[in-house]
Amino acid sequence: MGVLGGDKRWRFGACLVGAFSVSAVALFAYEGLNPSWRTPEVARGVGDELAVPIRELRVVALNVAKAHFYEGGEFVDATRVRAELDAIAAVLVAERADLVFLSEVVLECGPEPLDQVEHLALAGRFPFRAASENYSFGFPFFRIRAGNALLSRAPLKAIETLQLAGGRPFWSPTNNRRALCTELELGGATVLAVVVRNDSFDLANNFVQTRELLDYVGERPALLAGDFNAEPRDASLELLRASGRFSGFVDGSPTFPSSAPRRRIDHVLAPATWTVVEQHVVAAGSSDHLAVVATFRLP
Residue 189 to residue 182: CA distance in whole angstroms: 14
Instruction: Name which residue leads in pLDDT, 248 or 187.
Output: 248
Residue 272 to residue 293: CA distance in whole angstroms: 18
Q: How confident is the model at residue 21 (pLDDT cuts 50, 70, 90)?
A: low
Quote the pLDDT of residue 3.
47
Looking from the CA of 129 toward its CB, the CA atoms found within 13 Å total 26
Longest distance between any two alpha carbons in the chain, whole Å: 89
| Whether pLDDT at 209 is above 90 | yes
Q: If you average pLDDT over residues 264-287, what whole number do you get?
A: 97
| 209 Ramachandran zone, left/alpha/beta (phi>0; psi -120 to 50) | alpha
Q: If you average pLDDT over residues 75-104, what whole number do you get?
A: 96
| Whether pLDDT at 174 is above 70 | yes
Contacts of 139 (CB under 8 A, 6+ apart): 24, 27, 28, 31
Q: If you average pLDDT over residues 111-140, what whole number do you get?
A: 92
Query: Percentage of the chain surpassing pLDDT 70?
Result: 88
Q: How confident is the model at residue 73 (pLDDT cuts 50, 70, 90)?
A: confident
Assigned architecture for domain 38-297:
4-Layer Sandwich (3.60)
